[in-house]
Each structure stands twice: as structure tokens, then as C-alpha cells.
Structure 1
């Protein structure tokens, strides 16, 4: 049956069969926003009887907003309706679908590691009932179909989808694997290569891609349930062949060993120490040699191992922390300002990247600079960035031109008079920023929001030069701004809550993860990174090499070591901050001159071809440099420090616990709303391994009593800079956790 035929054929009578009403539990939370409060009773699964070509079809519809998650109540209701349909002699076929924009968002993540996961029927049980049904079952994928929702569909005898449907198995991103048969059924349906791509990447796919894979048999352009009922009726009448799943092993001919080797190498690069991707690959490989039942047992064993492990708990912590951080309470939708046109002042690296972020989201942007030369240079870089994305196949020529058309270059501040918001991305100098904000205050409309992309400077001081301090705030984008998802949103003393809500709403449109932070030097991320890099410098003086420091922290899971990171960012940036802080730095505190001496020699990192490492022309690969090791020894001698062997364990503890100790001070100071916000900042802005949950969650997993004991040891050995944070002391002594 073609797509056109299924769309044009109408169904006969439709009668409501039944529905299951249950008292609400906590709302499912498998993605998206937390739903509004539910009514006292709500429908979780409803059943309709439809007549399709003389065949009575039971349409079972999951109705559990916002994402139709498969929590315990939905499973009970679905099991009851499925049993009724299977036992009703009038019903000859079954269609399973969802409501709204979701077929099902999958399992309720909050039920992991709770007794609710054991409430019968389990998802595996439901899927087996669908698969073993003598009556044909067709899944009508009306929208987003993820995780357990897709596994539920895999148990059906056929799958049809709406054009808007999005499918995927994202479990690997939560440190687990598809645990309801996904690793065994998917390769039997789409083949091993496609299953590896879908499961190990965890990425979603369009309905068109699912059709090419053979995951769905049809994209229905008209009424989806109508098309699904026709397909089910065709099976019931024997006109259309059942797509029953083979339970036999796939066999060695289904995939080469090289395919699995390549998948493991890719996963090792992408997930840096994550074990879930490797377990996913092992389960898919098992399908070659085992029948379905044995493969399902192997998958269940691996799932339990992962879901009870620290990595999955950490990734789930980050999952919920991101959503908690992105909320602004107490502001109605009507109060939240809509931002539809923006301006960006400064066409340099940051300004250009910020302009691209807006254009990528379809937001028109006026890009302003003081000279035509700077403006044209910035526009040229933007075009080259888009062309590079085009060459990688991630952008079409039409999309490239559309995004460039959204960026309007300007040399005149008056062109910003009609924008809803301006982001200033000029040089990190307070005088420069005050001058720009004075001008913006004069030319922009009274309701326009004025934001500064500063990484350290005082937002209140900048706001004070305007007549609208309530509409001034900081938006600290991370470089490259068009790629990095983190956005530190800096709330000044006078910043209005509605303005914050508007920026958070905008951040979501841009695909960013916003986190509210307070006004202090460095806000959250850079305030903490100063302590992290401080310990790296001290470790160099005490006997470690740059390669050893960076290597130890990369093996811990960091995206890159602190010294390589400094080289990439530009050593002159942090040098300027240290010179600004010099006047207030207590003279008795230990201070390393290593980084300053490197800068004084004209080595600013990758952009000058030399920093802590040297770099070949056109390369970003760090090469250890004997000159730097000699410079470090000189600094140690001048400071009276006797060098010694240093273990990787000490490097990791001193670097990571420096983050933890300062993070505790930040929470106590109110510069972050909660410890989990700090974890979001570090995972998405500083390359902290997500499978460790962020620095604060990592400290929880180590035990705060043990962390405190180690920090007290550093305090005794290294002095005042290691004084334990009061919040850490209180929590450790009370048996508490940052995550509480």
C-alpha cells in the first residue's frame, strides 16, 4: 500500500472502547520541560474501536503528558488495554499510538533504581506480548519516539510514521543501554551497521531516515491512525505479510569484526572513558551468535550493571541538573519579553560566533563594528565557518545563504534602535564597555535589553552608566560561541526577573543551556578555573611537567588538560586578569610566576605558536618544549621550591578538589543557586567528564568526609589557599551531600 493510498482511504465507524483513569503520580521526566500540574484524574491509555475495510481494529492511545513516558502507571494501563484487545474476539488487529507531539519519550528516568521499575508489567513483558500476539499490531508513530518508546514500537509487527516523527535510542547518553530489547531487535530489523549507528551515537533521526533504514515501512501523509489501521487490517486479512522478527542468531555473516572494532574506536573518542557505549556494542555483537532470548538476557544483565553504576548515576544527575538550571520561577509567559531581533557589538571571534548562534536559530541580527575592515574580516570568518559546515554535509547551500542573509552588517549604532536586545562583545576592558553601554542606552529603545559578553567584569558597574539597570545583565558565551552550549547568565543587583526569563527563553531557542550566576570576579566558571590552574602552576614548580599534568587530567576524563586549555584560549587573556588582580592579592600568599614568565617571553599559546608547549605551523598538536621545562626549574629555584616526583593521583586530587572547594564557597556566597548548577557549568563549559557528573557530584561520590580530609592535608602542607570551605566542612561533618 502506498503512502498516497493510505492517506486517501477513509475509515468507517469509530467507537470509544474504554480508558484507564488513575490518580496522578509525580510527572514523568524524560526530556523537555516539567509539565504543568495535572488534573486530579487523567487518562493514561485509551482504547477506540475502528472499522477498517471490514476489520475491527483496536486503537490503543498512550495519553500521559507531557511526553507519554512509560512509567509504572502507564505500563499497568497499557497492559490492561492490551489484554482486553487480545481477548476480544471482535478485535482482529491492534494499532498502538500516542497523543500530542509524542508517541512516547521512553522510560521515566526518575524510576531508575526504584521499586517502580519492578512494577508489572515490565516494559520487556509488554513488548513480548505485542511480539507474540496472533493479532497483527502496528505502531503509529505520531511524533517523538525515543528510548523505551521506540523499543515498544520494535515489538510491533509493523511501524508507520508521520512526517514529523523523530526516532532514537538515546540511552547511552544517560550511561545505560536500551534495556527492553533494543540492542537485540533493532539489528534484526535494520541490520548491524545501522543499529550500531543508532544505538552507540544515541542521536535521533527523522522519519525519512528511519524509512531508509527500514525501521518504519511507510510515512503516512494523511491521517496516521487511518493509515496504520489499514496496514493492520491488511495483515489480518492476509493481504499484507506480517513483519515478524526472527529469533535466530544473526550469524557471523551479518557483520565483520572490523565493523565492531571501528565502532569501539569511535566510541572511545566520542565518550572518553564512558563504559555504556562499549556495553551497547557488546550487546549488538551478541546478537550475531545468540538467539533472541539469550541476547535479551545478556542485555538485561548489562543494563543492570550500568544502571547501578556511578557513571549512569552521574549522567542522570547532569540530565536533571540541566533542566533545573534552565528554570526561572515566578515569571508568567505574558511578563516574559519576546526577543525577535538582536544586535551584536563587535565582529571579532566572540561577536561573530554569537551572531552565528542567533542566525542558526533564525533570529535576525545586526552585527556592528567600529571599522569596515574589522566588520568585513568578521563577516569573512562567519562565511568560512558556514562553508566548512557545508563541506561536512551538515548544512545545505540554501541554509548557508539563508543564515548569512539574517546577519546585517553595520557601522552605525543607530541601526540598533529597533532591536529587542544587544549583546556587546568588545574587548575585555571596563572603560571600553562603559563607553559602549552609554551609547547603547542612548540609541536603543527603552525596552531593549542590554547584555555584555564579559567573562569577569562587574555587571553592576556597567549597568550603572545606563538609565535602565533593570534591563542590563551579562551573557557569558563560551568560545566558540556558535558551538558551545553553555551560557552563563549573569544577574546584576538590579536585573529584573522578567528580563532573566526572556534571556532563558531565548537561550533555549538558540540551543544553549543557560545557568544563572551572580556578580563576582569570574562568575562561576572562571572564578573556579583560577584555582584549578593555580594548582597546575604550583605542580609544575614542585616537579611535574606540563605533559604530565595535562595527561593525568585527560586520563581522569577532562577534554583537555589545564595547560593545553590555557594555550588554546590565549595565555595573554588570563595574564591580563592576573595583572588586574595583583593590587588586591595578599603579598603573603603563594604565587607562581611560571605563566607570567611565559607571557613575558612573548609566548601566548597556539596563536603565537608557543606557550606551555610549542606548535608547528597550522597545527594544534602540543609538543613538549625543553625551554619551558628549564623556565619552570628557574621559577622553582627563585621561589625556593625543591622539586620532587609527583604522582598522577596527587595531580588529579589537587586540581579537582581545588574546583570543589571553591565551588562550595560559590554556593555559600549565593553566586550559584545550587551545587548542581556548577556541575552544569563545568560539564558544558570546561570539558569536565559528564560520566563523573561535574565536580560537585564527583565529590559526593568520593564521600565528602574523605574529600575534606584530603583538603585538610593540603591545607596543612600548602597553606592558606587550601583552607576548607565552611559549607564543605558542615556537609562533611553532618554526612550530607552537595546534591542534596
Structure 2
């Protein structure tokens, strides 16, 4: 094989194509075998990736070395007519690089791994026989980069199959050939969009965009791979070139995409980011040779991997993975009950969103409300979500139909004995919720979990008068429920470990990330968020241009400014949460009566187009509502002149409240608090909320 570059400090624009290098020494061949090679009577080599004692296949020094040795054996065997690469794992083809290994390697070993990965996949690409990636399950990151080095990619249509290059979501870039080969396969514009956004796609969408060549049922994959391998003229993808590589298109795309990204995410202008680096790598590499493009990948990856930002992104990824897949240590051995039937009470925005979320993962859902009109409005929202899901390729038409069939509407009082879980999503009023739970207790099994979607009210109070109070728990979804990944699982002292563990396990089965919190007003996210929002409202009263506050927080890294967020929440809802928290925390919250005055004057935010912004326009975005200015009393000398001062002032509210949450034991760890804020509010992962 021919490594691309010996010295990583060499200029990537220097030509290395005339230098031959020996094979990498295989230092990890003695590691447990992760590959099995079978050659059938037709001369097809079936190479199966199956990492021992692991549910996933990942790339590290050992597996790359072993894979390279297998490729070399195939290269030496002249009887082999074609190579098919497959996985023995039921839900994973190759899950990319071993991130734990990647994030802890010293610089010299990291550099060796970057070079090794590129060289091994180039070795694979250089084989002069048809190479077929037979994909079933997750094929992401380095897994898909390996598939790109093959001539043909076929994928199962199974729901477990996901394909793409999500590295930018971890603060990295595809650096084992993905940033080089994908633009040459599908064109620079499409590849740039997928790589910069870090998107992973379902099989049929992948085929539509050209990431794979064929999609078919899993039971047909092997026969089809064999048919392709034995065809008289199988396609060989050796010297790919796409017309979009021609100048000046890559240069124009670089300018346009960077400008668009910085306008949409102002914080990127002052922070080193993987998406901006990916734009440079893809567009600069597209106009150079493959060898030079691969060298640019290496150089950029080395720069990114050492940054604090990337380390924080990777750290957050591991926290999210653990919270999304494992029970907390003290519940690890607790027996849980599968939930297949549920009911959602209340078909408003949150109720219909929760029902959609549950049904999308196979749960049969009774959606109940008091009137036919309310139910009709709820189903209108659900069907809008279904149409959007089909349009965006998140679900197929068949899946949309099946999802719709799993939701049963009712405006009558019906028995709910067979539902293992009831989630109430009615008005945020404690007496109303207590009355509902008393009624539900008479219509459900004693083992049915009764959950409240409250954002701030006491679960302990709701459980007081309910028979078997141990089954009452909080499941606080965030809006929009089908998209937001966080669910706060709120417990009270009477809950049993079985109820808590079952709730957590079920939330995980929905593809959500549960954070276990104790029953304290506002829980974690709203408690930390409210002082920040009220601080922004108090500051807005003093500024001639209050919308500068939102600009400051966008530059800080928040996905939405606090004033616009208040518009989306609704001033009336925010005021209710403020009153609940102020009753508990008193003067610790910033003092302002602006929200009260706005609500009394009929200003409710986005819901009635009377907020800090006017109605959101698709092209121009939300426009400032200058009518708000008459409710403000700006100072001649504003307290803050620089946007960074505004951001630091408002961030301090969040930091101080987060520290108090940790001190009071609202949740177990600082990591839980930070993860909840990242997933629930979009708090920038590259910043630390707690020391």
C-alpha cells in the first residue's frame, strides 16, 4: 500500500504522488480477531467485521491494522474475483472511529492514527477487483469513509440503517477520506451540505442523494451483492471526478456557505468551529489532487482535535450517550416494565406532540381531550407533523400511515386499565392536575404510571391524594416534543426504584435523553433559565435598543436570544413560571414587572403576534416590534455598552443558579446540569456552565 504522506508537517500542496512507501507495520495483529474472511466457490471474498464482546464495530489502531492485513491477503490472492465487506452486528455496520481512544491519544499516536486510517482506506480503494460495501445498520463517520473507498455501496432498507458523516457535530471533520471522496461522488454542493451539517440519513434518502447505489430488503442483500460481484462489467470507481470540482464553483461555494453560516450562527465568527473548517477542507480539496486533499484533511483534523471546543463537544457526546442508553448506577439492577400502551390527556401543542412522539416509536396511544373540537385541533397538528416527516424523509408514507393508526382519539371518559403509562398535558394549574389524577386513579390499574408534563409544579403535591402515590412521576418534555431531545424525569420521595427505572428506560426507548431530577420548583432547566430570561427583561427596560440583547446572546452561542425565546414561550406562560419560582426563591430572581404589564396590556408573544418581535417571516426572519418601546424606560447611560458585557451579565444568572441547583442536589452531578441545559436550551457545548 502507499501511504499518502510521511511527514505530517509537509505542505499539503507539495506533490507526494511520486514517492512510494512501504506498508505500515501491523502492530495489533495479536489483538482479538475482529474480521473473518471467507472465499466462496465463485471466488467472492466475504469479509465480515465482528468486534468480539462489543455491540458495535469501531475503528482504532487494532481494527485498522487487522483490516489492512486482510486487504493485503486479498491483494495477494489472484483467485479472488470480488470483495464484499459486511458486518455481523444486528444494528451496526461500522460506527466510525473509537472516540474514547481518539480523544485520549497523545499527539504522536493521534497523528499516526490519522495517517493509518487514510492509508488503509486508500489501500482498499487500490484493489483492482470489485469492492462492495454491504451496509446494514449504522454506517457513519469512519464506517462510511471506508464504504466510500469501495466501488459499490448497497444498503438495507431497515430502520436501523443510517448513513452519513456526522463528525462536525463532535467538533471534528471527516478526515479518513470522507471530505475528499464524497464531493467526488455526489458533487461539491451536496457533499458540502451533508458534511457541514453532520447529517445522517435513512437508506432511501441516501440513495436519492447518491450516498449509496442500491437499497433493498435485508434478506436480499447477500444475493444482490453476489450478483453485482459476478456481473461481467461491474463499475469500478477509481478515478472519480465530478464537474462541480471545476473552478470557480468551489471557491464561490466557500464564500457563500461561510457567509451564510456566520450570519445564521454569529458565534462562529469568533470561535474556531468544525463546520467552517469543513467548508475549507471540502472546497479547497475539491480543486486539488486526491493526495493533496487528503493531506488537507489530516492537517485540519490535527488542528481541531486539540482545541478546547472539540474536547467539550466530545465530552458532551459521551455524556449524552450514557444518559440515553444506560440506567443510573443505583438503578442498574432494577427490574423495569415494558410500556406498549399509553394515554396522553390533553391534545394541545404539547399533548399532540407527545402523542406523536410515543406513537412514532411503536407505542399505541389513546389521545384524550374534553371536546371533539380540541381533539380535531390536536389531530390537525399531528397530521401536519406527519406530512412534514414524509417531506423531510424522516419517515416514509407507510410509516406515517402506521403512526397515524396507532393514535386513538377520544373525548369520552374511557377505562384505561390496559395502559401502562398515562401522561397528562393539560393546563398548568395544580388543582386541575390533582383533580385529573384523582379521576385517572379510578380508571387505571394500580400499577399504571401516572406522569405529569408540568414544567414547574410540584409532583409531590400531585401525588398526595392519589392511591399508590409511588406511581406518580414527572415527565417534562420540551417543546416541540417530537424534536427536543431532553426529558426531565422528576421524582418525589415516595417513588419506587421500579417506577423511576421504568420511566427512564421508556424515555430512552423514544430516542430521548432523560435527566433524573428531584422535585424542586422549576426542576433544572426552567429554574436556571428563568433568572436569565428575567434578567434579559429587566435589562431590556433600560436599553434604547433592547434587541441588542438577543444579538449579544447569539454571538455568545445561544441558538435564540432570550427576548425571542420569551415570545415563543408566551409572556403569560413565562409569567406563571416566574410566579411559581418567585414564591420559592423570592428576591433571588431579577426584579421586573415588565412581563406583568405586557400581559395585562394583551401582549402574549408569538401566539398573538404581540411580543418583542412581529410575526416571523420565512425570508426576512422575525422583525422587531417597536410597539414594545412604549413600555420601556431606557436610561440615558445604558449599563452595558459592549455585547460581550451583556452576554457575560446574563450568563452569570445561569451560572449562579446552576451552582445552587448542584448545591441543593436537584440532580446528581454538574454533568447532568450542563447536559440538561445543552439539550433543553441549546446552551453552547463549547462553554462551561459550571466549573
Bin for the TM-score computed over the shorter chain: 0.7 to 0.9
Match of 2:172 among 176, 183, 190: 176
Show the counterpart of 1:457.
457
Residue 140 of structure 1: SS of its match in structure 2? strand
Judge conservation of contact 1:546–1:624 (CA < 8 Å) in 2: no
What is the CA-CA distance between 1:535 and the residue it aligns to? 2.3
Contact 2:367 2:408 in 1 (8 A): yes
**TM-score normalized with structure 1 length:** 0.79
Match of 2:133 in 1: 139
SS in 1 for 2:547: helix
Residue 294 of structure 1 is aligned with which of 289, 292, 295? 292
Cα deviation code 1:7-60 (max 9, x no counterpart): xxxxxxxxxxxxx9856xxxxxxxxxxxxxxxxxx53223333331xx363635
SS in structure 2 of the partner of residue 678 of structure 1: helix
Change (3 A) 1:308 1:332: closer
What is the distance in 2 between the residues matched to 1:284 and 1:455? Answer: 44
2:15 aligned partner: none
For residues 209-288 of structure 1, the aligned pairs below 5 Å read 209-219=205-215, 224=221, 228=225, 231-232=228-229, 239-240=233-234, 242-246=236-240, 251-252=245-246, 255=249, 259-260=253-254, 263-264=257-258, 267-268=261-262, 273-274=267-268, 275-288=273-286
The equivalent position to 2:70 in structure 1, one of 77, 81, 98, is: 81
* Structure-1 residue corresponding to 2:365: 365
Change (3 A) 1:612 1:334: closer
- 8 Å Cα contact 2:29-2:65 kept in structure 1: no
Give CA-to-partner distance per residue, 1:246-273, whole Å, 9 cap, x none. 4899751695655555544664577664
Cα deviation, 1:144-197, whole Å, max 9, x if unaligned, reads 211111112222344444444432111121121110111111222233233224
- Give, in whole Å, the separation in 2 of the partners of 1:59 and 1:71: 18
Distance 2:263 2:199 in 1: 16
Do the aligned residues in 1 keep the contact of 2:265 with 2:555 (CA within 8 Å)? no
Pick from 144, 158, 170 the counterpart of residue 150 of structure 1: 144
The residue number in structure 2 matching 1:728 is none
* Partner Cα distance (1:188, 1:587) in 2: 61
Give the aligned partner of residue 57 of structure 1.
45
Change in Cα spacing, 1:271 to 1:145, as seen in structure 2 (3 Å) is: farther
Find the residue that maps to 1:520 and give its secondary structure: coil
In structure 1, what is the Cα distance between the partners aligned to 2:202 and 2:300?
28
Q: Which residue of 1 aligns with 2:58?
A: 69
Query: Which residue does 2:673 correspond to in 1?
Result: 678
Q: Is 1:185 aligned with 2:181?
A: yes
Provide the rounded CA distance (Å) in 2 between the counterparts of 1:622 and 1:399. 34
Task: Report the alpha carbon displacement of residue 613 of structure 1 after superposing the two structures with TM.
Answer: 4.5
Please state whether the residue corresponding to 2:516 is helix, strand or coil.
Answer: strand
Q: CA deviation at 1:291?
A: 0.8
Write the distance in 2 (CA, Å) between the matches of 1:46 and 1:188. 31
**CA RMSD, Structure 1 to Structure 2 (Å):** 3.4
The residue that corresponds to 2:4 in the other structure is: none
Query: What is the SS of the residue equivalent to 1:382?
Result: helix
Alignment of 1:399-414 (within 5 A): 399-414=399-414
Structure 2: runs of 5 or more not aligned: 1-27
CA contact (8 A) 1:147 1:178 kept: yes
Residue 117 (1) aligns with residue 110 (2)? yes
Deviations 1:118-148 (A, max 9, x none): 4567211211222233555443334321111
1:203 to partner: Cα distance: 2.0
Give TM-score, length-normalised by structure 2: 0.84
Task: Please state if 1:552 is matched with 2:556.
Answer: no
Residue number in structure 2 paired with 1:7: none
CA distance in 2, matches of 1:622, 1:215: 36
Q: Against the structure 1 CA distance between its residues 377 and 547, is the aligned structure 2 distance closer, same or farther, given a 3 Å change threshold? A: same
SS of alignment partner, residue 632 of structure 2: helix
CA pair 89-381 structure 1, distance change in 2 beyond 3 A: closer
Structure 1's 269 and 416: CA in aligned 2 closer, same or farther, altered over 3 A? farther
Q: Is the 8 A contact 1:451 1:472 kept in 2?
A: yes
- Mark the CA change 1:412 to 1:456 in structure 2 (over 3 Å): closer, same or farther: same
Superposition deviation, residue 561 in structure 1:
1.3
Query: 2:265 & 2:180 partners in 1: Cα distance?
Result: 22
Contact 2:47 2:84 in 1 (8 A): yes
Which residue is equivalent to 2:194?
198
1:247–1:129 Cα change, 3 Å: farther
CA distance in 2, matches of 1:88, 1:393: 43
Instruction: Look up the match of 1:668.
Output: 663
Q: 1:467 to 1:593 in 2, by over 3 A?
A: same
| Deviation string, structure 1 residues 103-126 (Cα, Å, up to 9, x no partner) | 211101112241353456721121
Moved more, 523-532 or 354-363: 354-363
Matches for 1:592-607 after TM superposition, within 5 Å: 592-607=592-607
- Structure 1 pair 610–87 and aligned structure 2 pair: CA distance change class (3 A): same
Give the superposition deviation at 1:563. 1.7
Shift of 1:67: 1.6
8 Å Cα contact 2:416/2:443 also seen in 1:
yes
SS in 1 for 2:479: coil
Hey, what's the Cα distance between the residues in 1 that align with 2:242 and 2:547?
A: 51
Q: Secondary structure at the match of 1:304?
A: helix
CA deviation string 1:261-311 (max 9, x = no partner): 554466457766453223222222223321111111112112222222233
Shifted more, 76-85 versus 659-668: the winner is 76-85
Question: For residues 401 and 47 of structure 2, what CA distance do their matches in structure 1 show?
Answer: 45
User: Is the CA contact 2:521–2:581 (under 8 Å) kept in the aligned structure 1?
Assistant: no
Q: Mean Cα displacement is larger for which, 604-613 or 438-447?
A: 604-613
CA contact (8 A) 1:47 1:61 kept: no
Aligned to 2:475: 475
Q: Which residue of 1 aligns with 2:87?
A: 98
For the residues of structure 2 that align with 1:619 and 1:439, how far apart are their CA atoms?
A: 48
Q: Could you tell which deviates more after superposition, 172-181 or 308-317?
A: 308-317
Q: Which whole-Å CA distance do the structure 2 matches of 1:461 and 1:491 have between them?
A: 12
Which of 684, 688, 704 is 2:683 aligned to? 688
SS state of the match for residue 34, structure 2? strand
Q: Which runs of 5+ in 1 are unaligned?
A: 1-19, 24-41, 700-737
Q: Matches of 2:373 and 2:222 in 1, distance apart?
A: 58
Contact in 2 for aligned 1:62/1:97 (Cα 8 Å): no
**In structure 2, the residue corresponding to 1:427 is in which secondary structure?**
coil
In structure 2, the CA distance between the partners of 1:163 and 1:336, relative to structure 1 (3 Å rule), is same
Query: C-alpha separation between the residues in 1 aligned to 2:120 and 2:498?
Result: 46
Change (3 A) 1:289 1:626: closer
Query: Is contact 1:344–1:367 with CA below 8 Å preserved after alignment?
Result: yes
Greater shift in the superposed pair: 311-320 or 217-226? 217-226
Determine whether 1:316 maps to 2:311.
Answer: no
SS in 2 for 1:484: coil
Relative to structure 1, the CA distance from residue 563 to residue 162 in structure 2 (aligned partners, 3 Å threshold; closer, same or farther) is: closer
Residues 158-167 or 194-203, more deviating: 158-167
Label 1:666 to 1:645 Cα distance change in 2 as closer, same or farther (>3 A).
closer
* 2:162 corresponds to: 166
Quote the Cα distance in structure 2 between the aligned partners of 1:619 and 1:194: 22
Q: Counterpart in 2 of 1:325?
A: 323
